[in-house]
């Protein structure tokens, strides 16, 4: 085994330890080292997923913090508490700087290493989706020209991923469905286009409510962990009561079966 291969395995192992210890910043560091040591071949599926999980947790904590502080800021503003508003703006700015740094880090890695080395359709869609996701996270808090630029970059990345997914991935592929769901969130939250968001979301949910491949559906739910959180909330709003009711009923029928699959296959949790 070459020193590079040994170092790669060690960093993957340390990333797994960091994940178990919930030290996600360090997990990011270990997986960045792995990505940067790979010059002629793409990451394995395991490595790719570890990198994604690491960044998802690091960015997720900051996004949650930003939403909380922004909400408090709005309340204080409505009460006319100018001193508190000034403090909150400063604190929000600190969080936004952290968000920008995290997004810039993964976007740089995607552009320099991950996307150029991607050879399979699955990995190309995965990384382009990831690129779109992190530009979308920037668009969530940027303003003016910066927000417009982030939104345009998101749209371009998602469309590129969608073109490949539609041509080369099965309709039931978890990554293709995760892309469609995130694309719909982008239309709804960033572009304020509920009709387009609804059309995309319907394709995802209605299809899977009647799909036979429960295992693929489970993987999709795992890949898109926000499904049962905010994304599902707005989805039920834009789809309308009748469709929403059908989806909820479907979830009530399917989710117990998914729990059985989880118990039978702990390796995919």
For residue 202, the model assigns a pLDDT of 74
188 pLDDT exceeds 70?
Answer: yes
Examine the fold and report which residue of 106, 121, 136 is the final residue of a domain before the chain moves on. Answer: 121
For residue 200, the model assigns a pLDDT of 79
DSSP secondary structure, the chain, as one string: --HHHHHHHHHHHHHHHHHHTT-HHHHHHHHHHHHHH-SSSPPPHHHHHHHHHHHHHHHHHHHHHHHHHHHHHHHHHHHT-HHHHHHHHHHHHHHHHHHHHHHHHHHHHIIIIIHHH--SHHHHHHHHHHHHHHHHHHHHH--HHHHHHHHHHHHHHHHHHHHHHHHHS-TT-HHHHHHHHHHHHIIIIIS--HHHHHHHHHHHHHHHHS-S-HHHHHHHHHHSGGGGTHHHHHHHHHH-HHHHHHHHHHHHHHHHHHHHHHHH-GGG-
Same domain for 109 and 196? no
The answer as to whether 158 is a domain residue is no
Across 53-74, average pLDDT? 97
Same domain for 114 and 176? no
The answer as to whether 96 is a domain residue is yes
The answer as to whether 150 is a domain residue is no
For residue 155, the model assigns a pLDDT of 98
Same domain for 108 and 198? no
Same domain for 10 and 99? yes
pTM of the model: 0.79
Domain count, the chain: 2
Give the residue with greater pLDDT, 220 vs 115: 115
Examine the fold and report which residue of 121, 154, 188 is the final residue of a domain before the chain moves on. Answer: 121
- The percent of residues in the chain predicted with pLDDT above 70, rounded, is 74
The answer as to whether 57 is a domain residue is yes
Same domain for 187 and 106? no
Q: What is the pLDDT of residues 134-172, one digit of tens each?
A: 999 999 999 999 999 999 999 999 999 999 999 999 887
Weakest mean pLDDT among 55-64, 204-213, 256-265: 256-265
CATH code assigned at 1: 1.20.190.20
Domain that includes residue 219, residue range:
170-269
Give the residue with greater pLDDT, 30 vs 236: 30
Q: What is the pLDDT of residues 77-106, one digit of tens each?
A: 999 999 999 999 999 999 999 999 999 999
Same domain for 188 and 90? no
Same domain for 256 and 175? yes
For residue 67, the model assigns a pLDDT of 96
The answer as to whether 132 is a domain residue is no
Examine the fold and report which residue of 64, 94, 121 is the final residue of a domain before the chain moves on. Answer: 121
Same domain for 107 and 189? no
For residue 126, the model assigns a pLDDT of 97
The answer as to whether 237 is a domain residue is yes
Average model confidence (pLDDT) across the chain: 82
The answer as to whether 261 is a domain residue is yes
Same domain for 112 and 14? yes
The answer as to whether 128 is a domain residue is no
Weakest mean pLDDT among 55-64, 184-193, 253-262: 253-262
222 pLDDT exceeds 70?
Answer: no
Across 23-44, average pLDDT? 92
């Amino acid at each position: 085994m070459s020193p590079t291969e040994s170092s790669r395995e060690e960093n993957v192992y340390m990333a797994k330890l960091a994940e178990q210890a919930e030290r996600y910043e360090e997990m990011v560091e270990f997986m960045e080292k792995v990505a940067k040591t790979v010059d002629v071949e793409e990451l394995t599926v395991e490595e790719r997923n570890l990198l994604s999980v690491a960044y998802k947790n690091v960015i997720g904590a900051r996004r949650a913090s930003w939403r909380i502080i922004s909400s408090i800021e709005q309340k204080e503003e409505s009460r006319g508490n100018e001193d508190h508003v000034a403090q909150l703006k400063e604190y929000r700015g600190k969080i936004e700087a952290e968000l920008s740094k995290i997004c810039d880090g993964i976007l740089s890695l995607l552009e320099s290493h991950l996307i150029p080395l991607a050879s399979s359709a699955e990995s190309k869609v995965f990384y382009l989706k990831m690129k779109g996701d992190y530009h979308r996270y920037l668009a969530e808090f940027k303003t003016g020209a910066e927000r417009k630029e982030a939104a345009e970059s998101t749209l371009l990345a998602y469309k590129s991923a969608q073109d490949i997914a539609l041509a080369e991935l099965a309709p039931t592929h978890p990554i293709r469905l995760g892309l469609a769901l995130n694309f719909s969130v982008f239309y709804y939250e960033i572009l304020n286009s509920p009709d387009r968001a609804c059309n995309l979301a319907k394709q995802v949910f209605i299809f899977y409510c009647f799909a036979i491949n429960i295992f693929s559906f489970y993987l999709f739910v795992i890949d898109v962990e926000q499904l049962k959180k905010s994304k599902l909330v707005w989805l039920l709003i834009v789809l309308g009561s009748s469709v929403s009711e059908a989806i909820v009923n479907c979830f009530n029928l399917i989710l117990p079966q998914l729990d059985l699959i989880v118990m039978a296959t702990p390796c995919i949790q």
